């Protein structure tokens, strides 16, 4: 039955009952109205309003649940659905809304996958150009400086040595940037050693990164390993840039839900700050492999990031 007719019939039933009680009951209305008659009519009106309100509340309750679902829906946190309660048009509306969310989440995942794939390809190209073009140019410049300094006067030789050190530092920085853009160690040595190398790279006098990698991890797909690596990289970058942390713990282990990456620091915490593009990118990457990402305060302060990557049953260790 359409919503209009259900509400109309509810009101009609309440008014009909009130009219029957007024016609068949001993209540009469005098002129002028007596206080007892006014009290009885007021009580009857109040009873009708309460009954009508209760019936409408029950009828429209599914719409309130749908409104809450619409308010809290976030495509980066999928799975939030309104319960398909009610009947007729209300149930059809809730079902249509849930179907729309399914389609939007699928389209968001597909578009994010295409964008991140293009991003990885562009990173690979830039890293290759940095290594092949700029890296080789600086290497040639270092060799030329070394050759020239061997024939230069002592006064000029010291200046050339300083230029060599500056050039060598620039070359090391370019190689470091190229490694971050294209994690070759991930393809060559695997996820565990890649994360240990990443932790060593981020360790500095201001932030000591301690990595603990379980040895009995199940096999992950290449896409899942890349997601874990990139999320760890972004988490360590945020800890180094924004948290002011002096210690960061990176843990990769096996849980009943799958493989879990945890990055915890002792910094200033997030304090309810809005999520930036880096965290949103982490959530988009997690969606690509069906992973669950949570971000919040750590048990002893600071910030804790958890990424849980599901593992097929056939790949889980006993």
Q: Which residue has the higher pLDDT, 77 or 264?
A: 264
Per-residue pLDDT band for 2 (boundaries 50, 70, 90) equals low
For CATH 3.30.565.10, the residue range(s) in the chain are: 188-318
| Percent residues over pLDDT 70 in the chain | 83
Instruction: Quickly count: other Cβ atoms within 10 Å of residue 198's Cβ.
Output: 22
- Per-residue model confidence (pLDDT) at position 132: 75
- Using DSSP's 3-state secondary structure scheme, residue 97 falls into helix
Helices (H), 130-208: 135-149, 154-181, 184-189, 191-202
pLDDT (tens digit per residue) in 29-68: 666 756 776 776 777 777 777 777 777 777 777 777 777 7
Query: What's the rounded mean pLDDT across residues 198-222?
Result: 82
Q: Is the pLDDT of residue 182 over 60?
A: yes
Architecture of the domain made up of 188-318: 2-Layer Sandwich (3.30)
Mean pLDDT of the chain: 78
Rg, the chain, Cα only: 33
pTM over 0.95: no
How does pLDDT run across 212-264, given as a tens digit for each residue? 998 888 888 888 888 898 899 888 888 888 777 788 899 999 888 889 999 99
Task: Report helix, strand or coil for 293.
Answer: strand
For residue range 254-292, list pLDDT tens digits in order.
Answer: 888 889 999 998 888 777 666 777 888 888 888 888 888
Which of 65, 68, 73, 60 has its CA nearest to residue 100?
73
117-127 average pLDDT score: 78
pLDDT at 51: 74
pLDDT of 166 above 80: yes
| pLDDT > 90: percent of the chain | 6
pLDDT of residue 85: 64
The answer to whether 43 and 55 are in contact (CB under 8 A) is: no
Residue 109: CB atoms within 10 A of its CB come to: 16
Dist. CA 170–CA 278, nearest whole Å: 26
Query: How high is the pLDDT of residue 318?
Result: 44
Q: Picking from 14-28, 43-57, 147-161, which range would have the lowest pLDDT averaged per residue?
A: 14-28
The predicted pLDDT at position 317 comes to: 46
For the segment 184-208, the average pLDDT, to the nearest whole number, is: 80
Residue 314 confidence (pLDDT) above 60: no
Question: For the residues 67-93, what does the mean pLDDT come to?
Answer: 70
Q: How confident is the model at residue 181 (pLDDT cuts 50, 70, 90)?
A: confident
């Amino acid at each position: 039955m359409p919503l209009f007719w259900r509400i109309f019939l509810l009101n009609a039933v309440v008014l009909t009952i009130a009219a029957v009680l007024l016609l068949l009951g001993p209540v009469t209305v005098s002129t002028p109205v007596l206080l007892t008659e006014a009290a009885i009519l007021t009580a009857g009106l109040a009873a009708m309003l309460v009954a009508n309100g209760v019936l409408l509340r029950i009828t429209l309750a599914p719409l309130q649940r749908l409104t809450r679902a619409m308010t809290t829906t976030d495509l980066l946190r999928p799975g939030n659905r309104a319960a398909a309660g009610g009947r007729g048009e209300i149930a059809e509306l809730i079902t249509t809304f849930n179907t729309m969310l399914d389609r939007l989440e699928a389209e968001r995942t597909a578009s994010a996958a295409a964008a991140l794939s293009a991003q990885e390809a562009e990173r690979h190209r830039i890293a290759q150009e940095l290594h092949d073009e700029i890296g080789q140019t600086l290497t040639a410049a270092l060799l030329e400086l070394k050759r020239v300094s061997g024939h230069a006067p002592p006064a000029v030789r010291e200046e050339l040595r300083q230029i060599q050190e500056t050039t060598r530092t620039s070359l090391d920085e370019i190689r470091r940037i190229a490694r971050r853009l294209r994690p070759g160690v991930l393809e060559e040595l695997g996820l565990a050693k890649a994360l240990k190398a990443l932790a060593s790279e981020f360790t500095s006098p201001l932030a000591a990164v301690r990595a603990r990698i379980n040895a009995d991890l199940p096999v992950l797909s290449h896409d899942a390993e890349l997601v874990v690596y990139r999320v760890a990289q972004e988490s360590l970058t945020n800890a180094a840039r924004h948290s002011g942390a002096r210690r960061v713990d990176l843990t990769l282990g096996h849980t009943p839900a799958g493989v879990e990456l945890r990055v915890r620091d002792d910094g200033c915490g997030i304090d309810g700050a809005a999520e930036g593009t880096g965290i949103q990118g982490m959530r988009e990457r997690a969606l690509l492999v069906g992973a669950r990402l949570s971000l919040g305060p750590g048990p002893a302060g600071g910030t804790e990031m958890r990424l849980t990557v599901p593992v097929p049953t056939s790949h889980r260790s006993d």
